[in-house]
Structure 1
Amino acid sequence: MIQLTKVISKKELKQFILLPYSIHKNHEEWLPPLISDEWKVFDKTKNHSFEHCDTIMYLAKQNNKVVGRIMGIINHMYNNGNNEKNVRFYGLECEDDAAIYDTLINAIEIWGKQKGMNTIIGPLGFSDKDPQGFLIDGFKEPMTVMVTNHSYKYMINHLERNGFKKKLDIFQYSAKIPEKTEAIYTRIAKRATRSGYKILEFKKSKHVRPYVNEVFKLINETYKNIYGFAPLSDIESKEFSERFLPLLKPQYIKVVLDTSDKIVAFVVAMPDISVGFKKAKGKLFPFGFIHILKAFKKTNQLNLLLGCIDENIRNSGLVALMNIALLNSARENNLTVLDSHLILEENTKMRAVMERMEHKIYKKYRIFEKVLD
């Protein structure tokens, strides 16, 4: 018999956080996230996103053993801004067992209906910046840090059996970094420079910090039409930057200023350290951080993470300006492969940037939806 328990105590939250590490212990391509980072996501005392969301977390137990987990999220800020009544499911993990799976997903459906929601969507977290979607293609390809959602094929089968349909697909590209910049990009970038735009490059993280607040303001303005995104408050922006800035190399952060020194565009990337994360097995100490540091030095891949341009000046050559600077930094450090991170199927402009290079789509993810009766 399967017992469903709400996560209330710290002990139960720890069980919730640690369950994937046993579910995926024999999963060759799964990339364990840092346990310390998972606490920052799921502990409401450490994640201010809980303040504007209704949430619930369940553990499924069988014979006193934790065998599954799931989280339900109602993001009121997103729902109100988009005139929707969606409950999100997130963090769904269990073995290939229909009874366990159904118990978990049905619990979120019931909870969502009790809260007045008419649709369930997912996997989707507090924001589109959390891992999203179930993997539908590319199961034998390696994972990259910041995606960390290498689900089993059976997750899709059980979801479809429960009446879920495709909401949208998300692509992940791998592209060869060209040995030199194409002349057309150089011409476009020069036009941007002549128009007064200038690019900032960094050598130390402390030089990046003064720009963090303005970067997140730009994110809130330009990401508003991206599916699943809800504006980040000042405290959420601070939490997000504190989680990831220590992992970033400042030379792969590029910021564009206009003639009044206002931030109008930026791009953030990082060398792929997935091998180090895998060896760390979710723990920075005592030796995990050493594996991660070594991975920085050995990788040949650069992973895109974030980027945007002020919507009012999208055709001003800033993409070329940033791409040239970013790829130059990659070449200087002998990086030869560029990973796109996650790109929505409908984001044709960003997909076109990747498809101008020698590329392949090596992973596809899907967000599902179901109307609640």
Structure 2
Amino acid sequence: MMIDIIEVNSRKLLRDFIYLPSYIHANHANWVPPIYMDEWDYFNPKKNDSFSHCDTIMLLAYNDNRPVGRIMGIIQRSYNQQHNEKHARFAYLETENNQIIHNALMDAVIAWAQHKGMTHIVGPLGFSDKDPQGFMIEGFDAPVTIATNCNQPYMVDLVGNYGFVPKLDLVVYKVPVPETKPEIITRIEERFRNRKTDLRVMEFRARRQVRPYIRPVLSLVNQTFTDIYGFIPFTTREMDEMANRYLYLINPEYIKIIVNGKNEVIAFVLGMSDLSEGFRKSRGKLFPFGFIHLLRAGKKSTQLNLLLGAVHPDYQGRGLDMLMGARLIESARKNGKKVMDSHLELESNLKVRAEMERMGGKVYKRFRIFIKEL
């Protein structure tokens, strides 16, 4: 078997890179296509500011002129400097169930990383922890959710056979949404109303109301996520890119923001309806009718996906996370949601895990990031 590894340096090759997963997962029932318009922007250095502070390489594997695999190598310079590491990352690895193809891709990206002076390679891990990370190792019977990897079990075997070992695990909880308003939610809201405070909970009906708060919200993420593995602070341009990529998909009812007397954002939580069925029906295209499929899917879906949340350090320990969670659950309940997906949580984050389990959540997916010494 002759495998040719080619660096992506043209629009034609980028097209192969972007659309390859649709062939790899052609018979994968739970795979969901991305919005391809967003993919073109994401992998374009002129439109994705993450490229500006990273070294990157994108590679394709061909067999008989047919694309059979892809991989992206990333060196996150600022993260390495901050953590005194020389780590390269691999991301967006897709391949047929073939060790030869996998090894050819990995050999090439490791050679690139060694040439750059790296001592380890870790992944799957993108530009930051906000990108899909880790290979799924449990939960293969569940549909993929937004901003997470969807891989077949054989991918874990391929990287293991190559010599990668586990670095860390991330878990995903499925949390039931109560059919009636729980008494604890009523008590939390009453406690907040009776407290003498200048804090206000902001709720929204329109996306245009949310947009002025995008930068303050993501600035709060920059302040509070510093200890999260893989996290890189958002630049102002990345904040705007994030808004453009996701805001149109989100029902503003699932955005809760708390501001203080100076109108400063000091806490927030963000969720969105599961749009998996809409992504499938749209086949990754917004136009001409894909957007309609997404809107319908958002209204019909009984699952709410949690995406982000944070509380300013000066306001932690005051129950604000519980207050926002209560408001979010109430919005979900009124809109017919039955369950919530917690998104990825570090297995070692016992505080968040305890909160999920207190609400009746059960782990139903597990992802693993791997590492290899070079």
Q: TM-score, normalised by structure 1?
A: 0.96
Q: Which residue of 1 aligns with 2:260?
A: 258
Letter in 2 for 1:27: H
Superposed, 1:146-157 pairs within 5 Å as 146-147=147-148, 149-157=149-157
1:304 to 281, 284, 306: 306
Q: Which residue of 2 aligns with 1:143?
A: 144
Letter in 1 for 2:23: S
Q: Which residue of 2 aligns with 1:169?
A: 169
Report how far residue 347 of structure 1 moved: 1.5
Q: What CA distance in whole angstroms lies between the structure 2 residues aligned with 1:146 and 1:75?
A: 19
Q: Which residue of 2 aligns with 1:101?
A: 102
CA deviations over 1:133-189 (Å, ceiling 9, x no partner): 101011111122232x21011111110111111111111111111234544454455
Q: What CA distance in whole angstroms lies between the structure 1 residues aligned with 2:18 and 2:213?
A: 33
Q: What CA distance in whole angstroms lies between the structure 2 residues aligned with 1:144 and 1:19?
A: 19
Letter in 2 for 1:329: S
Residue aligned with 2:174, SS? strand
Residue aligned with 2:215, SS? helix
Superposed, 1:111-122 pairs within 5 Å as 111-122=112-123
Letter in 1 for 2:25: H
Q: Which residue of 1 aligns with 2:30?
A: 29
Superposed, 1:5-44 pairs within 5 Å as 5-44=6-45
Work out whether 1:330 is the aligned partner of 2:336: no
Report how far residue 285 of structure 1 moved: 2.0
CA deviations over 1:35-70 (Å, ceiling 9, x no partner): 111112111121111000000011111111111110
CA deviations over 1:348-371 (Å, ceiling 9, x no partner): 222122111232211110000111
CA deviations over 1:117-144 (Å, ceiling 9, x no partner): 1110000001111111101011111122
Mark the CA change 1:256 to 1:101 in structure 2 (over 3 Å): closer, same or farther.
Answer: same
CA deviations over 1:102-125 (Å, ceiling 9, x no partner): 011111111111111111000000
Q: What CA distance in whole angstroms lies between the structure 2 residues aligned with 1:127 and 1:235?
A: 15
Letter in 2 for 1:40: D
Superposed, 1:268-287 pairs within 5 Å as 268-287=270-289
Superposed, 1:86-235 pairs within 5 Å as 86-147=87-148, 149-193=149-193, 194=195, 195-235=197-237
Q: What CA distance in whole angstroms lies between the structure 2 residues aligned with 1:181 and 1:228?
A: 37
**Are the equivalent residues in 2 in contact too, given 1:189–1:317 (CA < 8 A)?**
no
Q: What CA distance in whole angstroms lies between the structure 2 residues aligned with 1:162 and 1:190?
A: 56
**Are the equivalent residues in 2 in contact too, given 1:266–1:309 (CA < 8 A)?**
yes
More moved, 28-37 vs 194-203: 194-203
Q: Which residue of 1 aligns with 2:57?
A: 56
Q: What CA distance in whole angstroms lies between the structure 2 residues aligned with 1:192 and 1:217?
A: 25
Q: Which residue of 1 aligns with 2:249?
A: 247
Letter in 2 for 1:339: D
Report how far residue 287 of structure 1 moved: 2.4
Q: What CA distance in whole angstroms lies between the structure 1 residues aligned with 2:192 and 2:373?
A: 47
Residue aligned with 1:341, SS? coil
Q: Which residue of 1 aligns with 2:373?
A: 371
Residue aligned with 2:344, SS? strand
**Are the equivalent residues in 2 in contact too, given 1:78–1:228 (CA < 8 A)?**
yes
CA deviations over 1:192-246 (Å, ceiling 9, x no partner): 5523322100111111111111111101111111001111110011101110001
* Root-mean-square deviation over aligned CA pairs: 1.4
**Are the equivalent residues in 2 in contact too, given 1:181–1:324 (CA < 8 A)?**
no
**Are the equivalent residues in 2 in contact too, given 1:171–1:344 (CA < 8 A)?**
yes
Q: What CA distance in whole angstroms lies between the structure 1 residues aligned with 2:351 and 2:260?
A: 22
Q: What CA distance in whole angstroms lies between the structure 1 residues aligned with 2:247 and 2:253?
A: 12
Q: TM-score, normalised by structure 2?
A: 0.96
**Are the equivalent residues in 2 in contact too, given 1:177–1:327 (CA < 8 A)?**
yes
Q: What CA distance in whole angstroms lies between the structure 2 residues aligned with 1:246 and 1:82?
A: 35
Q: What CA distance in whole angstroms lies between the structure 2 residues aligned with 1:41 and 1:13?
A: 11
Matched residues, number: 371
Q: Which residue of 2 aligns with 1:350?
A: 352
**Are the equivalent residues in 2 in contact too, given 1:55–1:72 (CA < 8 A)?**
yes
Q: Structure 1, unaligned stretches of length 5 or more? A: none
Q: What CA distance in whole angstroms lies between the structure 1 residues aligned with 2:316 and 2:278?
A: 37
Report % sequence identity. 49
**Are the equivalent residues in 2 in contact too, given 1:199–1:254 (CA < 8 A)?**
yes
Letter in 2 for 1:371: E
CA deviations over 1:253-295 (Å, ceiling 9, x no partner): 0001123321111001011111111111111223222221111
Q: Structure 2, unaligned stretches of length 5 or more? A: none
**Are the equivalent residues in 2 in contact too, given 1:192–1:316 (CA < 8 A)?**
no
